Amino acid sequence: MDKIQLLQERKAKLAEAGKEIRQRINAIVDENSFVELSAFSFSKNEFYGLEAAGEGVITGFATIGDYPFYVVAQNFSVLSGGVSKANCDKIVKCLETAEKNSTPVLYLLHTQGVQVGEGVTVLEGLGKLLSKSTQLKGIVPQYVVVDGEVYGSAAMLAAVADFTFFLDKKSVLAINSPFVLSAKSGKNVAKEEIGSAKALAKTGIPAFEIADIAEVRTNILAISELMATPCIDAELNESVPALNAVSDAATLMTIFENPLEIWAGCESDVKTVLGRIGGISVAAVVFDGGENGVELNAAKLAKINNFMEFVCCYGLPFITFGDVKGICPCSCVNNSRVMKEAAEYLNLLDTIDTAKIAVVYKKAVGLGYSLFASKSVGFDYTCAFANAKIALFDSVAGAQIELGDEKADKAALAEKYADENADPINAAKDGYIDAIIEPQFVKQYLIASLQMLAR
C-alpha cells in the first residue's frame, strides 16, 4: 500500500475520532499553537474488539497567552473515554516531558472509568499515572478541567491538581459512578447530588465553577501572569480613603490589583485570594466575619491549608487579613478534625520561606490571633488598623464564662477585658505589633514590607 496514502487515511481517522475534543482544546489554547504528541497510537480492546484510536487520549503542547503548557485530553468519543494501560502510559510520557521542561500541565477529563477487559493491568497503569502526577506537585502547576462526567480512579487527578475547574451544569466528578452508588444504596441517586461543584464544595477540589470552557483560559492566564515577573507599572503610593470609613472585606479587596478568588464556592467567610499588591504577586487569606468575626472550624482551616499547599510549593508571599476569633465553641466542632487542621496549618506556615505578613483589620482574638497574626508562629511583619481589636477574649462576658467562678472578681475581669483594653496599642507596647496604621494607608505599608521581605 502507498505509505503516503496510508498516512493520510490514518490522519483522517484520527481527526474524525478526535474532532470534538480538539475543538475543546482549541477553545483554551492560543490559535494554531497546539502540537500533538504520540498521535499514531492504535491499540485494540480485546473485550469489545474495538480499536482505540490515539489510545483514547490526546496529548501535546501549546501556549495559553504565550505561556507554554502540556495538554492531556481524554477523548470521550473513543470507548467513552475508557482508561487503559496504554492510555495511562501515553499520559505519563507527556507528564515526564512536562517535568523535564518545567512546564505546567492542563488536563481535560471526561471518562466513564476503566476499559473493561484489562484486569489488573489497568490498575498498574493508573498507579503509575497517579504517582507521576503527584511527583509533579510543587514542580509545575497542574490544572484539571472536569469536562463532563468523570468516574473512577482517574477522578483522583482532580484531587492532585493545584486547580480544578467545574463547568456549570456539565461537570460531575466521583470515584464511584452514580450507578454503583444507586445500586449500593438501593435508590436512584442523581449524578448532580454526587459530583457537582456544589455537592463537592467541602472537598476542597472545585477551585473554580465556570460558565463555559472559555473561562478556563481566562483564569489560567490570570494565574500564569500572577506567577510571572512583577508588574512595574503599579502605583506605589496609592491610598484607599474608603477604608477609613468602612473597614470591611469588600473594601479591603480593592487594595489588590486584579484579584482572583480561589475556592469561592465553600466557606465564603474565608476568602483565599491570588493577586498583586504594588505589582508584587501575593497569596492572601481574607477573613470576612461581618459584625462578629470568623469562628474557626475544620472546614475553614482545611480550605486555608489547601491554599497554603500551593503557596508553599511556589514561594508566593503570604498575607493574612484578620477578622478572626478562636475555634467555634460547640461540641460538634470539638469532635472533628479542627485541631489536626490547625496543626497542619502551622506546619505549612513554617514551610513558607518567603514573606509572611499579617494585617489585623478588624479582630484577632484568642487562637485566631495566635494562628494568623502572632510573630511567634513566624509572621515577619504585623500591623493593625487603629480601630482593630486584639484580645485574649472577644468580650467581658466571654472572659467571665472562660475564667469566671464563684470566687472570681467580676469587676476586675470586666476592667481587664473591656473593649478599650483590646486596643492594638497594648499589643504594640510589647513589640507584638510593628505598626498601628490608618486603614487608608494599608496598601503603602504592604508594598514597603513586600519590597523588603519578598524574595
Q: Each residue of 61-70: pLDDT tens digit? A: 999 999 999 9
Q: Is the pLDDT of residue 396 over 50?
A: no
Grid coordinates standing for 103?
Answer: 512546564
**pLDDT for residue 437 is more than 50:** yes
* CA pair distance 17, 262, nearest whole angstrom: 35
Q: Would you say 58 and 18 are in contact if contact means Cβ atoms under 8 Å apart?
A: yes
In the predicted model, is pLDDT for residue 454 greater than 90? Answer: no
The yes-or-no verdict on residue 16 having pLDDT over 60 is yes
pLDDT band of 237, cuts 50, 70, 90: confident
Q: Nearest to residue 20, comparing CAs of 221, 217, 215, 213?
A: 213
Q: Are the C-beta atoms of 67 and 42 separated by less than 8 Å?
A: no
> From residue 179, how far is each of 152, 161, 183, 187 by CA, in Å?
12, 26, 6, 10
Residue 285 is which amino acid?
Answer: V
Lookup result for grid cell 519590597: 451
**Range scoring the smallest mean pLDDT among 140-154, 168-182, 309-323:** 168-182
What is the model's pTM? 0.88
CA distance 338 to 299: 8
- Looking from the CA of 394 toward its CB, the CA atoms found within 13 Å total 19
Mean pLDDT of 104-112: 96
Half-sphere exposure of 292 (CA within 13 A, CB side): 6
Q: What is the mean pLDDT of residues 363-392?
A: 93
For range 343-360, the mean pLDDT? 95
pLDDT in tens, 402-427: 555 555 565 665 555 555 456 777 76
Give the sign of the dihedral formed by CA 75, CA 77, CA 82, CA 84.
Answer: negative
Quick check: helix, strand or coil at residue 106?
Answer: strand
Residue 232 confidence (pLDDT): 60
